[in-house]
Amino acid sequence: MKRFFLTIIILPFLLVNKSGLQAQTAQNQQKQVSLDNTEQFSIESKYVKGENYLIQVGLPIAYKHSDKSYPVLYVLDGDKSFGMTKEITDWLTWDKEIKDLIVVGISYGKGSEAWWNKRARDFTQFKDTVYYYYPNAGGANNFLSFIKNELFTAINSNYRTIQDSNAIVGLSFGGLLSSYVLFAQPDMFKSYIIISPSLFWNGNSILKTEDDYFSKHKEMNKMVYMAYGSQDDNRWVIDPTNKLIEVVQLHKYEGLKFVQQVFKGETHISVFPVALTHGLKTIFKR
């Protein structure tokens, strides 16, 4: 009788242990999800001290079976935005709504907290005189030197690119940086997709950057797509963006193709995928 009861007690534990081992084995056999036609490598920058950037590259489906060269879209906030941008691009090229292109994500690869703090350093051109939340802000020019002198070199050396067709896409602080590049170093990119730009930064100083450019140049042979959601913050995004749009339209730059959209009901974040889709269709239209 004792042996019978002992068997009844032990048997459930053996079954639980066995199922646990089977689940653990199955879990160990699982592989991480990966995106087709993508590669990644790192660059230790000489211009951004102590930074080792993770660079993600999404290639057109036909890349390995052709000898064609392609335009390149550089994606800020690659830690969060590269996968979505690559997949939206694939959908649109599959349906022949846009040209084939190479998508390059600029990432940190060290988790969300590191991404959040480092983007504030890299995407802001000045120490803010009003908003002191990011003590490491103001490193945009170092970051742009990294892109110009290290990232461009790596991409153009290892992939078949059309070097005078570079584009950049940025959201929020990324939109601030993209707007700054447009007027401070416009030769870096041919086209710009600027979404929900945080143009309040440093007292809307982007207006001075634009004015400095306009004082010396009356032409701008660029294509710019700028968008935000109607539910975004008025003080941080909507009002300063509308002011910049007004000034750019007033200055009537020769050669500039400027498209701007407002998406009803979208917020600072939710606007990104829809605006990205429209931006891609504007910039890379077949």
Cβ-based burial of 224 (10 A; exposed 0-12, middle 13-18, buried ≥19): buried
**Residue 240 CA: distances (Å) to CA of 122, 197, 245:** 21, 9, 9
Q: What pLDDT does 5 receive?
A: 41
Q: What pLDDT does 68 receive?
A: 96
Q: For the structural domain made of 34-283, what CATH number should be given?
A: 3.40.50.1820
In sequence order, what DSSP letters do the residues of 222-262 get, joined into one string?
A: -EEEEEEETTS-IIIIIHHHHHHHHHHHHHT-BT-EEEEEE
Q: What pLDDT does 26 receive?
A: 52
261 and 253 Cβ atoms separated by less than 8 Å: no
Full-model pTM: 0.89
189 and 76 Cβ atoms separated by less than 8 Å: no
Number of H helices, E strands in the chain: 10, 8
Beta bridge partners of 44: 52
Q: How many CB atoms lie within 10 A of CB 47?
A: 16
Q: How far apart, in whole angstroms, are the C-alpha atoms of residue 5 and residue 173? A: 68
Domain segments of the chain as ranges:
34-283
What are the residue ranges of helices labelled H in 105-260? Answer: 112-123, 140-146, 152-158, 173-184, 201-204, 206-214, 239-251
Give every residue of the chain whose pLDDT is below 50, as ranges.
Answer: 1-16, 18-19, 21, 23, 25
Q: How far apart, in whole angstroms, are the C-alpha atoms of residue 10 and residue 4? A: 10
